[in-house]
Amino acid sequence: MQTTRHNIELDGDFWQLISVGTVTEDGETVHAHLSSLARGEHQRNGFRPGQILASIPVPVATEALRKLRDDALTNGQPFAASRLENEIERITTTG
């Protein structure tokens, strides 16, 4: 499992990180809401991606969140960057 940009490769497919939830009791994985970049349904109003809930390693989630934070800073979105930084701190200090 690795990240490319802020996408996560899982079982040969690429997923976009939507949100992170609770860290597991062992502190090694975090529940994450992921949206597929390839799987889904084409509808009249566009593509509706498939979504999953998966447990991913904390370092992978942290790397994806850091890349999202860096994009937010680059695009002049300090509030979004601050929220992402809070999520990074939350999942890396839990456990």
Q: Give the model's pLDDT for residue 53.
A: 94
Record the pTM. 0.83
**Residue 82 pLDDT more than 60?**
yes
* Exposure string over 30-59, b if 16+ CB within 10 A, otherwise e: bebebbbeeeeeeeeeeeebeeeeeebebe
Q: Give the model's pLDDT for residue 21.
A: 93
Residue-range domain boundaries for the chain: 2-93
Structure tokens at 74: 């680059």
| Per-residue model confidence as pLDDT tens digits over 72-81 | 999 999 999 9
- For 90, phi and psi rounded to 5 degrees? -60, -45
| Per-residue model confidence as pLDDT tens digits over 1-48 | 655 566 898 888 899 999 999 999 999 999 999 999 888 999 999 989
